[in-house]
Homo-oligomer: A and B are copies of this chain.
Amino acid sequence: MTDRINAFVPGPRIHIDGAPGGPLDGLSFAAKDLFDVAGVPTGGGNHDWARANPVPTRHAWAVQTLLDAGATLIGKTITDEVSLGILGENAFDGTPLNSAAPDLVPGGSSSGSAAAVAAGLCDTALGTDTGGSVRVPSSFCGLYGIRPTHGRLNLAGMLPQAPSSDTTGWFARDATTFARVFSVLLGEAVGPALPRMLLPHTLLIAVDAFGFADPEVAAALRPMVDKLAKLIGSARDEVMAPQGLSVWARAQRTLQPVEAWQTFQAWVQRENPRFAFSVARGLVAGSQIPASERSWAALMRQEARGRMAYLLPPGTILCLPTTPFPAPRKGLPLPVLDPLRDRITCLCAQGGLTGVPQVNLPGATIDGVPIGLSIIGGRGSDIALIAVAQAMEAAA
């Protein structure tokens, strides 16, 4: 069954027992192959990366923290090459299975982590989210997934991509497991009794984002939005990105590739590594962005941050479709995929651009295929989003 899922990196499977008696005792987890595990090469989804880098001698902070809390590590998962990809098709390691829709991509870059959790191979799995790499696969696979507030988690031992946008996130099939991992990694207790007092009092419905998604998506998410509005009490329509979702996306697709090129340039130029064409093309694009574009993008980032701070005071959250459509088919040609990827970025850019936390809530489908509803809070409001996830599940 594991082979059919293709969630784990090739080679012998690792297994490291968690410390006994911790708060995550009994939980199993997997880690995207961007996280260091002592004594195991960090593959990064690219076969030339592992060869060019030393085998880590200590666990990544997130791995160590979950092990210390009692969770057992059962494998490292396939990722898009050095996290540069949003669809989950790795030309070297193949495409992890989207259990909810086997003919469709799982989403990426945390593809194997999402696939492993979706298939029930483990209870939770670590991913990373720079431009959507946890949010997109959680939407496509029908999972809870979180991109925490940028800067809150220690990223030691996680292969970076674009540091000003990089985060560590995770997946779960149920809100309780999702919250247990949160308590350990964020250090804020979320007990079963807490959610109600942590709930926000105002819900904003991002009309620009709903309008940008496929009409079927808005329709499929409508019952979840209604339920969410009822849970929270007060709801109103609001434009998230008055400058334009596509303008925010343009800024993110300027800043992120430039930083990614800065991260990987020395390795690429020294080793001339092998990549899928699309990945190399993205790196080339990052190397070519002029300083004038970067300057503009940095200003737009400031505008977007200001907008999010204004929209999302404590007690207010915003909801939007996580992705503008459900998972596309596997194996589509680049001229079809490229515009899809660009559209995804229009609904994901706010994460990397402004650093706000975002949680994907599963529950909706279109013709049986999952599509996620996202909730976003102001920076540092992660626990409120977890509380909403728990309350939504409890109200089901």
Interface residues of A (CB under 8 A from B): 48, 89, 91-92, 268-270, 272-278, 280-281, 283-285, 333-335
Q: Which residues of B contact A275 (CB under 8 A)?
A: 274-275, 277, 280
Q: Are B280's CB and A272's CB within 8 A?
A: no
Chain A, interface SS category: helix
Complex-state Cα separation, A335 to B271, whole angstroms: 11
17 other A-B residue contacts (CB within 8 Å) besides A269-B335, A270-B333, A277-B283: A91-B272, A91-B274, A92-B274, A268-B334, A269-B334, A270-B334, A272-B277, A273-B276, A274-B274, A274-B276, A275-B275, A275-B277, A275-B280, A280-B280, A280-B281, A281-B284, A284-B285
Q: Select one of B269, B280, B283 contacting A333, CB under 8 A.
A: B269
Within the complex, the shortest CB–CB distance from A80 to chain B, in Å, comes to 12
Whose C-beta in chain B lies nearest to the C-beta of A81? B274
Within the complex, the shortest CB–CB distance from A316 to chain B, in Å, comes to 42
Q: Which residues of B contact A272 (CB under 8 A)?
A: 89, 91, 276-278, 333-334
Complex-state Cα separation, A276 to B285, whole angstroms: 16
Shortest beta-carbon contacts, A-B, top 7: A280-B280, A269-B334, A270-B333, A284-B284, A269-B333, A272-B276, A281-B284
Q: Which residues of B contact A268 (CB under 8 A)?
A: 277, 334
Complex-state Cα separation, A269 to B285, whole angstroms: 17
